[in-house]
Amino acid sequence: MPEHPNATRIRETYAALAADDLATVLAAFDPDVVLHVGGSGEMAGDHKGLDSLAEVVGHIIELTGGTWRLTVQNVFADAEYAAVHVHETATRAADGAVLDVYEVNLLRLGPDGRVVDFRDIPADPITHDAFFDGR
C-alpha cells in the first residue's frame, strides 16, 4: 500500500535538510508556522513564522558546527498530521558535547500539506534540552 502523499513530501523535506537546502525546507512550512522548542535555553519557547524558523535552524547549525543530523526512521502521515521518528545526532562546536537521541517530530499540516505547527518530542528530554541549552 503506498504511503500518503504528505509522508512523501515530508521525507523529501528532511532529505533537503540533510542536503543543506534551506530554501526547499522552508517551502514546506506555512508562512505562519509555529515551532515549539522545549528546554530553558535561548531557543526555548514558541517561534512564529518562516523567519523565526530559519533563525532557529541557523542557530542549531551554528551551535553544532554543521554536524546536526536528523536521520528519518519512519514517517506516518495523513491529510492533517504527521509523526516523524528521527535519530538526532550532533556535536556541540564550543565544547565537543555529543547529542545522540531519538525523537518524534509531530507536525500539524494545513490543507495544502505545508506544516503549520511543529513540535519536537525527544525520548530523553533532559539530555536533549541540556545539549541545546548549553549544559
Domain boundaries, the chain: 5-132
* pLDDT range class, residue 38, cuts 50, 70, 90: confident
- pLDDT one-digit tens code per residue, 10-32: 999 999 999 999 999 999 999 99
Predicted structure pTM score: 0.93
Which of 116, 104, 100 is closest to 53 using CA atoms?
116
* The predicted structure's pLDDT at residue 42: 79
Q: With pLDDT > 70 as the criterion, what percentage of the chain qualifies?
A: 99
Which of 127, 126, 109 is closest to 118 using CA atoms?
109
What's the rounded mean pLDDT across residues 40-44? 82
- pLDDT one-digit tens code per residue, 102-111: 999 999 999 9
- pLDDT one-digit tens code per residue, 45-69: 999 999 999 999 999 999 999 999 9
Do 96 and 2 form a contact (C-beta atoms < 8 A)? no
* The predicted structure's pLDDT at residue 43: 83
Domain 5-132 has CATH 3.40.50.300: no
* The predicted structure's pLDDT at residue 92: 97
Please, how many CA atoms are within 13 Å of residue 12, restricted to the half-sphere of its CB?
14
